[in-house]
Amino acid sequence: MKVLILGSKGMLGADLMSVFSEYEPTGVDKEEVDITDESAVKAVIERVEPTVVINATGYTNVDGSETKEGFEMATKINGLAVGMLADLCEKKGVTLVHFSTDYVFDGRKKGEYKEADEPAPINRYGESKFIGEQLLQQKSTKYYLIRTSWLFGKHGGNFVSKMLELAGKGETLKVVNDQVGKPTWTMDLAESVLNLLIEARPFGIYHLVNEDAVSWYDFAHEIFEMTGVKAEVAPIGSEEARRAARRPRNSVLASAKFPLLRSHKEALQNYISTL
């Protein structure tokens, strides 16, 4: 397996680099290869001659995507560039691994979202990711489209790091309790991606998430309990949080095609021990 990782310095990309280290992956990030630059992407694929390309890039600013400029960027990076990458990989017979999100769903379903459920995004970030999903599926036959959710990891800002940072300021933290999802550790996700490839699972859509759904409010409590950090946490509703982008109330992904990952609580404990 010869692996090229795009977005190798991002939160997920950096953990992919370490989990795939025995395959000596080539990692590039924005400053070397801008994923929206077709000739740069083509050149790196021709130079590295990978058998697998893992696209861990993304415009991940959910609220920022609601502005005109933000949505343009999101559409280019999360949408159009994915189509272009899928084209290039398909022409060379290269397997493409790409990541999408729970935010492609509207959150109105009673019960967990399975791989075959129809996306219906309710915010611009979700729209941009859905454009990428559609182009990937149209242009590629050898793809793994991996939907995941609520990532936390060492190499990027995330909910866990934010909670710990805010706790230090001594204020009461208001955290939404009407959005439910499955927090997922980037190391566990990266290991699942490796297994997916090693086991040569059928191409298609996979939901890869740590198990056990919680609200952001419950998750905040778990973080403080496990770290022993003292903080006042108060539950609020989504309206009170006044974010630019609407979020689905039900963000819970069901993994129906791959062995379930461990509980997010175990993963969180493990993650905290590495900090």
Ligand X SMILES: NC(=O)c1ccc[n+]([C@@H]2O[C@H](COP(=O)([O-])OP(=O)(O)OC[C@H]3O[C@@H](n4cnc5c(N)ncnc54)[C@H](OP(=O)(O)O)[C@@H]3O)[C@@H](O)[C@H]2O)c1
**What residues make contact with ligand X under the rule CB under 6 A?**
7, 9-13, 29-30, 34-36, 56-60, 77, 99, 101, 129, 148-151, 156
Minimum distance from CB of 170 to ligand X (Å)?
Answer: 27
> Please, which residues bridge with residue 53 across strands?
4, 96
Note if 144 is an active site residue.
Answer: no
115 or 172: CB nearest ligand X: 115
Give the C-alpha distances (Å, rounded to integers) separating 139 from 126, 143, 204: 20, 10, 13
Task: Out of 113, 125, 143, 217, pick the active-site residue.
Answer: 125
Q: What's the rounded Cα separation, in Å, for the pair 207 and 199? A: 16
Q: What's the rounded Cα separation, in Å, for the pair 71 and 242? A: 19
CB 102 within 8 A of CB 149: yes
Give the C-alpha distances (Å, rounded to integers) separating 33 from 4, 8, 41, 48, 57: 12, 11, 6, 13, 11
Minimum distance from CB of 36 to ligand X (Å)?
Answer: 5
Give the C-alpha distances (Å, rounded to integers) separating 271 from 15, 22, 256, 274: 12, 22, 25, 5
56 or 176: CB nearest ligand X: 56
Please give the residue whose beta carbon sits closest to ligand X in the complex. Answer: 10
> How many CA atoms lie within 13 Å of 94's alpha carbon, on the beta-carbon side?
26
Q: What's the rounded Cα separation, in Å, for the pair 65 and 69? A: 8
171 or 247: CB nearest ligand X: 247
Minimum distance from CB of 151 to ligand X (Å)?
Answer: 4
136 or 231: CB nearest ligand X: 136
Minimum distance from CB of 172 to ligand X (Å)?
Answer: 25
Which active-site residues does the annotation give?
125
